[in-house]
Every structure is written in structure tokens, then in C-alpha cells.
Amino acid sequence: MATNLAVDDNLISEALVIGGCNTKKAAVTEALIEYIQRRKQIQITSLFGTIDYDSDYDYKKNRSRT
């Protein structure tokens, strides 16, 4: 999908250097991947304290060695 973006040239230049990317497309793609991963991590942290667990569960008993 072709998309035209107006992006600050200084930001793109810095991203190319820091990321070691050869093209603007590679820099933008890498930045989007990192952005999405970070947002997913933030969503996961909202689950802390909301999941019930069984205090009688014995994880050592359920280990299997193959």
C-alpha cells in the first residue's frame, strides 16, 4: 500500500543513523514495529492483579521430564 507522509527530516535522519537503516522506508517500518510492540506491552501490564490463581496449585507436581 503506497502512502505519502510528511515526516520531519531531522527525525528521519536521526532514525536512519541510530537504527542503522539504509532507507527511509526501513527506518519507518522499524519504528512502527517498535511502537506497536511497546503499546502491546502497556496493554499487558493492565492485566496485572486481574487474573485469579489457584493457591493450591503445585507447579512442581505437574512438571514432566521427557
Q: How far is CA 58 from the centre of its chain?
A: 32
| Residue 50: inside a domain | no
Asked whether residue 2 is assigned to any structural domain, the reply reads no
> For residue 65, what pLDDT is reported?
66
Query: Residue 36's domain spans which residues?
Result: 9-45
Task: Kindly state whether residue 52 falls inside one of the protein's structural domains.
Answer: no
The answer to whether position 64 is within a domain reads no
pTM of the predicted model over 0.85: no
Question: Exposed/middle/buried for 34, CB within 10 Å: 0-12, 13-18, 19+?
Answer: exposed
Residue at 63 is within a domain: no
Count of domains forming the chain: 1
Q: What is the pLDDT along the chain (66 residues), one digit of tens a residue?
A: 888 989 999 999 999 999 999 999 999 999 999 999 999 999 988 888 888 888 888 888 878 765
CA–chain centroid gap for 6, Å, is: 24
pLDDT attached to residue 62: 77
Domain annotation covers residue 37:
yes
- The answer to whether residue 16 is domain-embedded is yes
